Structures are given as structure tokens and as C-alpha cells.
Amino acid sequence: MSETIKYVLDETQIPRFWYNIVADLPRPPEPVLHPATHQPIGPADLEPLFPMALIQQEVSAERSIEIPEPVRDVYRQWRPSPLYRARRLERALDTPARIYYKYEGVSPAGSHKPNTAVAQAFYNKQEGVRRLTTETGAGQWGSALAYAGAIFGLEVKVFMVRVSFDQKPYRKALMEVWGAQCVASPSTETNAGRQILAASPDSTGSLGIAISEAVEVAAQHADTKYALGSVLNHVLLHQTVIGQEALAQFELANDYPDIVIGCTGGGSNFAGIAFPFIGAALRGERKVRVIACEPAACPTLTRGRYAYDFGDTAHLTPLVKMHTLGSTFIPPGFHAGGLRYHGMAPLVSLVQELGLIESRAYTQTACFEAGVQFARAEGILPAPEATHAVRGAIDEALRCKKEGVSRAILFNLCGHGHFDMQAYIDFLAGKLEDRHYDEAELAKSLAALPAA
């Protein structure tokens, strides 16, 4: 029997529609509130930041939203992405489980992020925007938007969280090769950044701070809009091409996942793979267990509160109902910078509240151990973020072994780790340490949640 099993779709099978889970949920998402008035906001309130097409997607309850042909055309460069059966990993684990992974690292930027970056760049270009600002953690999102900007001819300015900016100079270089500008956040270029630096000159930054900076710049310039790499409904929507392709690939495999696993930071790659399967379950087609794997050092789903909170540190964004550690919470620096966010996508938070998903938190050493085991068996080096999903999949596979049952496990290998090698160097040298947040600071941050 073949050891390498790859389920390939041809390019006519790139999805023609994004899947909107809102249409299938038993109750609608909670309204988004204005940061000043705490009243529900309308599309006009978001217009300084986003093009109208994306605002409409943000509030849509339609099940299927058509993917514009120019976006599908760019997707064609790397989509449909492959679905692999991890037979060598199964053998290494000696498990009866059937492990599958969807590999999104085949995109030019090396992760799932271009799925939405390309869509966002397209709509902004179409509405006459000249420049986009954004934040990035580990750099996966920043480089994806830089790539999309190069394709559609948009200027891109990226505020990169200081701790990752210092750890990953090559990510910055990648953005610059694509023509984008990348600065460390907190920066002296914005009021938000200057305020943080005044209070904490050595701030390592956070996604919450970087979002404040990017939003501030976009709000001040008529030709500039803001792009977010996760959290928002329209971003999760764009990622559903992943799960839709996986559904088609499982038909080829003549199998169906019992368990679907993704890592969660803001929630976009997780939603991308999971929502189409959750939707199928909600429509009565087939049940599935879904597990969100998050970092123990920033445990939004497992330790956060489901409450209204700001998306950023400077409180420039609207309030959304989500699992949050509080917008003033600054997670310790760890290598999966893309998961280092105080909040969680409102739609992911809602499906957890509805009991449709489970969540668990992993320490980074446990994740890198899984990442190295995966790389040696399957030959692909996972991004630090993706190692959380690998850890979750290996744990479920080992449970299958213990229980003597064969289950089909699908996880999203959302990106490769080519720009995260320092983390692997530290891990292999035994120098990688688990980082812990301060319980007292978390309590303080949760206590400061706005009353909405």
C-alpha cells in the first residue's frame, strides 16, 4: 500500500462560495457595539476602516457568499491545497487512528492567511483604496497582506509586535521584498504607540497594541483602510475555503472525520477548517467533535470570560462579545506569536458557548515536541502556531491507541515554520521554556472588562 496519500482536487473544485456559518447557527451573533455609546453600530460606523463589500459580509446572514472571480484566480496559484493522510506519523505513534491534515503552507506566504488577504486586497482595490494598514504577530498575516498588496498594487504598512519583530527579522525582510513597510509596535508613529511607550518603554508589544496603531493610521487617512487578519466574521468567512475543500477531499478518501482540530489565536484558521464541518452537523448531515487548541500562556477559550470587550488595547475598535482575557492583558512572549491575542473571534466564541466545540490549552514545549515528531515522520516543518494543532491530533491519536479504537482525525496544518527556526533551535538545544502569565494581572485585566 502507498505510504504517501494525497487527496488532490483540480482547480475547478476551488470553492465558488464562502460558507457563512451564521445561517446555520441556532441563534444570531450578538451585535457589535460602538466604543463610545455602547449602542449597536451600523455599516456607516465601520466605513472609515473597511470597504463596504467587507462590511456587508461582516453583517451578512446569507449561507453562501460568492467568491469574486479575480480572487479565485489568485487562489489558483496554490489552491486547492492538498489533504494528506499522515501514514508515517500513524506508524510512528503505533495508533489505529486515521490521521489527516490539510496543508495550508503551500501558499506563497506559507500559511492560510492569503485566503483572506487576497480577498481583502481585492475589495479594497475595487473601492479605490490606495493603502492598507495592519498588525501582525509572528508575521504570517503581515507577509500575507504584503503578498496580496503586491498582487493588487496596494501599499501595505504593517505594525509588527515588538517581541516577534526582534525574534523574526526575516519575516520583516519577506514583507519588504514584496514591497510592504514593516515597523515594530509599539512605535512612535501613533498616539497609541507613544502612550504605551511612555508608560512602558521596554514594552514587548501585543496584537492588541498593534491593532490600535494600525486602526489609528487608517482612521486618519482617507486613502487608507485597515485590514485585520483574524477575529472578524468576514475574515473567518474567507477561510472557509479550507474546510469546504476538506469536505470534498474526504469524499475522495471515502472517509469522514470523527474529530476536527485547529489551533486558535484569533480563530481564523480554526474556523476555516471547522465551520464547514460544524455547519454540516448543524444541518443534520453528520456529527463531528471539534477541538480548539490554544497556548497555555494566552488561554482565551479555556480561561477567558465571554463578555463584551475591545479588540485592541487603546480602545479604538468597537466592542464585540467574545472570550477574552481583557484588552489590557499582555501575554508573555512566546514563539507562537500568531496566537498571542487577548480575545477570540466572536463566532468561535459563540460556537463554544453553544457547546459545538471543545477547547484545550497546551504549553509551548509540548507543542514543539509534537512539531519535531511530525516533521521527522511527515517531512513538513510546522509553524509554531500549527504545532498546537499537531499536539492536539497526536494526543487524540494516542487516545485511540489506548482505547483500541480507530477514529479519523483531521487537523489544519495552517502554515510552515521556515521563518520560525530560532524557536526550533531553542527547542533542540533544550533552551525553550514554558512561559506563564501572571494570575494577578489576568484577574486585574478581567476585572477591567467594560460593562456593556
Interface residues with a copy of itself (CB under 8 A) are 2-4, 6, 8, 10-11, 70, 73-74, 76-77, 84, 88, 106, 108, 110, 147, 150-151, 169-170, 173-174, 176-179, 372, 375-377, 379-381, 418-419, 421-422, 424-425, 428
Smallest separation (angstroms) from a copy of itself to the CB of 365:
15
Residue 110 or 267 with smaller CB distance to a copy of itself: 110
What are the Cα distances from residue 217, in Å, to 150, 183, 193, 210, 226?
A: 20, 13, 11, 11, 8
Q: What are phi and psi of 329, to 5 degrees?
A: -75, 125
In 3D space, the residue among 263, 317, 253 whose CA is nearest the CA of residue 99 turns out to be: 253
Q: Which three cell numbers stand for residue 77?
A: 496559484
Give the count of beta carbons closer than 10 Å to the beta carbon of residue 60.
17
Residue 15 or 193 with smaller CB distance to a copy of itself: 15
Smallest separation (angstroms) from a copy of itself to the CB of 386:
14
Smallest separation (angstroms) from a copy of itself to the CB of 76:
4
In 3D space, the residue among 235, 239, 255, 12 whose CA is nearest the CA of residue 111 turns out to be: 239
Cα-Cα-Cα-Cα dihedral of 442, 443, 447, 450, to 10°?
20
Smallest separation (angstroms) from a copy of itself to the CB of 421:
4
Smallest separation (angstroms) from a copy of itself to the CB of 131:
16
Smallest separation (angstroms) from a copy of itself to the CB of 44:
34
Smallest separation (angstroms) from a copy of itself to the CB of 121:
12
Smallest separation (angstroms) from a copy of itself to the CB of 144:
10
Residue 82 or 450 with smaller CB distance to a copy of itself: 82
Specify the length of the chain in residues: 452
Smallest separation (angstroms) from a copy of itself to the CB of 149:
10
Residue 379 or 404 with smaller CB distance to a copy of itself: 379
Residue 411 or 427 with smaller CB distance to a copy of itself: 427
Distant-in-sequence, close-in-space partners of 93: CB < 8 Å, separation ≥ 6: 394, 397, 398, 401
Residue 106 or 253 with smaller CB distance to a copy of itself: 106
Share of the chain residues as helix, strand and coil, in percent rounded to the nearest 5: 45, 20, 40
In SS3 terms, 186-224 reads as CCCCCHHHHHHHHHCCCCCCCHHHHHHHHHHHHHHCCCE
* AA letter at 116: T
Q: Which three cell numbers stand for residue 30?
A: 450578538
Smallest separation (angstroms) from a copy of itself to the CB of 227:
17
Give the count of beta carbons closer than 10 Å to the beta carbon of residue 448.
12
Q: Under a CB-based contact definition with an 8 Å cutoff, are residues 339 and 360 in contact?
A: no
Residue 93 or 449 with smaller CB distance to a copy of itself: 93
Residue 299 or 384 with smaller CB distance to a copy of itself: 384
Residue 312 or 385 with smaller CB distance to a copy of itself: 385
For residues 344 and 199, what is the distance between their CA atoms, to the nearest angstrom? 26
Distant-in-sequence, close-in-space partners of 418: CB < 8 Å, separation ≥ 6: 110, 381
Residue 388 or 407 with smaller CB distance to a copy of itself: 388
In 3D space, the residue among 273, 308, 325 whose CA is nearest the CA of residue 35 turns out to be: 308
For residues 89 and 395, what is the distance between their CA atoms, to the nearest angstrom? 12
